[in-house]
Amino acid sequence: MPIYEFRCKDCGQESTFFTRSVSAALEPVCRGCGSRELERLVSPVAYHLTLRQVHERYGPPPQHASLDHYEDPRNIGREVEEKFRQWDVAMPQKVRDAIDAAREGTMPEGVDL
C-alpha cells in the first residue's frame, strides 16, 4: 500500500495519505486548512534486512538452553556480569553482593542503586 506525503502550500502542514495501489486515484486535501494546493514530498524508503543479513550484521541471537533460562538466579548474575564487563563499568558492591547471594540460591528482592 503506497504512502504519499504532501505539504500544503497555503498553511505548510504536512499530511500523509494511504492508497490501496499505485494506480489508485488520489486527490489530496490539506487536513489543516482544506486547501488542494499541496506539493508532494519525497518519502524515506524502508529497507528490510533478511534474517541472514541481520545475523551477519549483529550476530546470531543468544542461544539459551530453555525458556526458563532467567528463572535461574545464577544465569541472571552471569548476564549482569557480562554486561558490566562489556560496557567496561565498575560493578557496585550491592550488585556484586546480590549476584553472590543468588549463586548461593537466594533470589534477590531487588537491588537499590
Q: Where are the domains of the chain?
A: 3-41, 51-103
- Class of domain 3-41 (CATH, top level): mainly beta
Judge residue 58's burial from the number of C-beta atoms within 10 Å of its C-beta, 0-12 exposed, 13-18 middle, 19 or more buried: exposed
Calculate the CA 110 to chain-centre distance: 26
Q: What pLDDT is attached to residue 13? A: 94
Min mean pLDDT across 25-29, 50-54, 63-67, 89-93 is at 63-67
Q: What pLDDT is attached to residue 107? A: 67
| Contact yes or no for 55/32 (Cβ under 8 A) | no
- pLDDT tier for residue 65 given thresholds of 50, 70 and 90: low
Q: What is the tens place of the pLDDT at every residue in 31-53?
A: 999 999 999 998 777 778 888 88
**Of 46, 44, 38, 49, whose CA–CA distance to 15 is shortest?**
38
Q: What pLDDT is attached to residue 78? A: 82
Helix (H, G, I), strand (E, B) or coil at 83: helix
Residue holding cell 532467567?
A: 70
Mean pLDDT of the chain: 82
Give the pTM: 0.40
| Contact yes or no for 8/30 (Cβ under 8 A) | yes
| Contact yes or no for 24/18 (Cβ under 8 A) | no
